[in-house]
Amino acid sequence: MRITVTVNGAERSAEVEPRLLLVHFLREELGLTGTHVGCDTSGCGACTVLLDGVPIKSCTYLAVQADGRDVETVEGLLNGAALDPIQEAFKQEHGLQCGFCTLGMMLTAKALLASNPKPSDEEVRWALSGNVCRCTGYMNIVRAVQAAAAAQSGSQP
């Protein structure tokens, strides 16, 4: 089956098996390896991408379901050589350790901040609850999201 998906702002077309998962389409067909395969059951969030601006777990979503839609991966956060405010905040606030969960955390944070530019810590924790980090203990991740919110609004965290 032929699908056309806009990925990180660029239209991409490919012939795919109807059962191909979106995560494998992104990684294997398009070479966007920032999207990780973690648990294959949508429990960890390492495969999170934005589909039409909404975080989804790409390990349980078929590529054919994304036909005609917009997908953003972690690679889409980079603006030329400049880091996105979310990436910069994760770097500055030490919101990552091994980095495996980071892309899902950042994309989920992007969606949260698009709908709620000044979330409380509790709202950040709730938004990120579908993403598992085995390294950081979440405190720095919450601080990173709050720092990104402040940077985007031009205020102090």
Looking at residue 156, its pLDDT comes to 64
Estimate the crossing angle of helix 85-92 against helix 102-115, to 10 degrees. Answer: 120
The predicted model gives 107-125 an average pLDDT of 98
Show the CA angle centred on residue 109, arms to residues 48 and 96, nearest 5°. 80
What per-residue confidence (pLDDT) applies to 157?
57
Whether pLDDT at 83 is above 60: yes
CA 100 to chain centre: 12
CA distance 93 to 146: 10
Confidence of residue 107 (pLDDT cuts 50, 70, 90): very high
Give this prediction's pTM.
0.94
User: What's the mean pLDDT in 109-121?
Assistant: 98
Which residue blocks in the chain are alpha helix, DSSP H? 22-24, 85-92, 102-115, 121-127, 139-153
Residue 120: Cβ within 10 Å count: 10
* pLDDT at 68 exceeding the cut of 60: yes
pLDDT of residue 57: 96
Tokens of 79: 């603006």
Residue ranges with strand state E in the chain: 2-7, 10-15, 48-51, 54-57, 70-72
